[in-house]
Amino acid sequence: MNILYIFYYTILRFIRDRKGFMSMLLLPVVVILVLGTALSSTFKHSDISITPVAYLNLDNGTASNAFNEFIKLEDIEEIISVKTVASYDEGIEMIRNREVAAMIYINENYTQNLKNGGTGDIEIIKSQHSSFGASVVSSVIDSYVNAANAIEASGKLGNFIPQFSRSDSVKKMPINSTGRTPTSMDYYSVTMLVMTIMYGAHYGIDELGKDYFESIGQRLKSAPIKSYEMYVGKTIGIVITLFLQALILVLFTKYVFNVNWGNNLTEVLFICLILSMLSIGLGVMICMVSSSRRKATSLISILVPVFTFVAGGYFPIDNVGGIIEKIKYISPNYLAQRAIFNLVYEAGAQETQFFLLIMVGISLILFITSAVAGRRKLQ
């Protein structure tokens, strides 16, 4: 029963603080409007141009000749434009000068190695400046290697295929991108919603910090209530408050900005609820471990913008490569954004479930760590 009372008065106080409540909503709405309008051209669809690629083949054998034929196919020439170079250094120089997205390199022993039963390597040297182009080249080479491996394997089984034959077994179905990719307003509504929820960590710091380290905490801890009742009642109260703000933001952007939240709004809101738990858990954990509201507030003020940046919250940074590509997975913003985009644009259901599980796991770890740290403070 105490949990319910604590929960009720916590929510009552937050709702009564209209100024604080509204400022939490006003900021993301303004940012969505500004970024959504200013960067709308970034989100317009453009045709994918033919990717230029340098090519150096030092092998004169039959195996590499097959590859020479492959890259001259009409279908391949629609994707990549091959520029033959005379030396390895020339190809590298073209990459440096951003003339090509990658270089395909076949060494002089390629055919001989294959004849000896070894492996023949087709190397791709990728440009850091064109990760998309480099990934296109990789895909083309992968498709060749897969086919070549299939022929090789078939030959070893005795079914040697004497020559490469091309047939139109692929049925082309052009994809209509309308309604399947986010507009700038759609994009920033998701990322700013996620950022707003993450900033809700401040609620956790303020409420639990106040009730633990300040005079009101002395009164509460002197009352005949169990510490878990206080912890649970407060936490649920703050999580629900934050979730209400997320709900208002989703509905506002849906009906005022006409943002596409897909056909799974309930599931989107469920992700918001899980992220609210994670965010509050993060705030409470940092506060309990640092034993200082001020330190915890400063840390969250640094962490949330960093999480938002690496997750592409301020501007999309997919396929940028490098360190950001690796660390984005530790950003809760990235997990939540991907889960929401997957739901809205009906892609990667398994990935969505996986990301949700990770978020629930992180939340549990954060709350358990907070509880342990909180108990240790009582000495």
What is the binding site for another protein (CB under 8 A)?
Answer: 2, 5-6, 9, 12-13, 16-17, 214-216, 218-225, 378-379
Q: Tell me if residue 118 falls in helix, strand or coil.
A: coil
The residue among 17 and 77 lying less far from another protein, judged by its C-beta, is 17
Instruction: Report, in Å, the least distance between residue 220 CB and another protein.
Output: 7
In whole angstroms, the minimum distance from the beta carbon of 341 to another protein comes to 37
Q: Is 11 exposed, middle or buried (0-12, 13-18, 19+ CB in 10 A)?
A: middle
Q: Report d(CA 72, CA 78) in Å as an integer.
A: 10
Query: Between 17 and 75, whose beta carbon lies closer to another protein?
Result: 17
When the beta carbons of 10 and 111 are compared against another protein, the nearer one is 10
Nearest distance in Å: CB 374, another protein: 13
The DSSP bridge partners found for residue 123 are 105
Quick one: 125 or 220, whose CB is closer to another protein?
220
Minimum distance from CB of 250 to another protein (Å)? 26
Q: How far is the CB of 292 from another protein (least distance, A)?
A: 17
DSSP letters, 16-67, are: H-HHHHHHHHHHHHHHHHHHHHHTGGGGS--PPPPEEEEEEE---SHHHHHH
Main-chain phi, psi angles of 342, to 5 degrees: -60, -40
Q: Which is nearer to another protein, 133 or 200 (CB)?
A: 200
Smaller CB distance to another protein: residue 156 or 221? 221
Q: Beta strands 122-126 and 51-57: pairing type?
A: unpaired
Element (H, E) at 369: helix 349-377
Copy the structure tokens of residue 45.
Answer: 């669809």
Least distance CB 223 / another protein (angstroms) = 4
